Amino acid sequence: MAAKEREFESMQAYRLAALAVGLTLPLAALPQAAQAQVDDAIVLEIMRQCARIDDANARLACYDNNVRQSGDAPARAAAPSRSVTQQSSVAAPTRGSAVSGFGSEAVRTPDRFETSSNELDELTTSVAGVQMQQPGIYRFTLEDGAEWQFSESVPNSYRPPREGSVVTINRAALGSFLMVFDNQMSVRVRRIR
């Protein structure tokens, strides 16, 4: 019996020691983590510069290379933002014609992150043309020349708009848009051009 009691006591002592070490290590690392934090404005600027890159793989690499490094040391945070600016100027080509109108901020352009206070919440207009991209997904052109596409497929019972139909496009959550046509269910759409 005595041997089992000693084994049990030594096991409890081992567990307590492991618990004590496990609780003190994170506390010892706190001062280093606080020193390694970078100003939020710098990280936000890095993310904005990365977001201006049109190519998805290059944009992801920009996020990975710069935002991960921004937590390493404050001195290193300034250097990535300069390299991000250089990358974005090369990778984000400027378009010849500026996009304007309702939903134009959703079109990927270098200036899409600049906000304006005169944005509409709703647009009611007529359709100039409709093309079926695949079953349940339609691309339509409005009378002002803006091109929109269904973001999600609609059932076969849905009657898509035709040329001359009047549609209403509303702003939705997180920068998305909903189109309503002929008192049917709303359809999530995105602006193409």
Query: CA torsion sign, 122 to 124 to 129 to 132?
Result: positive
Q: What is the pTM of this model?
A: 0.42
153-170 burial code (b ≥16 CB/10 A, e <16): ebeeeeebbeeeeebebb
CATH class of the domain defined by 104-191: mainly beta
pLDDT in tens, the chain (193 residues): 677 777 777 777 767 666 655 666 565 655 555 545 667 777 788 888 888 888 888 788 787 777 665 444 444 444 444 444 444 444 444 444 567 777 776 776 665 555 555 677 889 999 999 999 999 999 999 999 999 999 999 999 999 999 999 999 998 888 889 999 999 999 999 999 8
Start-end of CATH 2.40.50 domains in the chain: 104-191
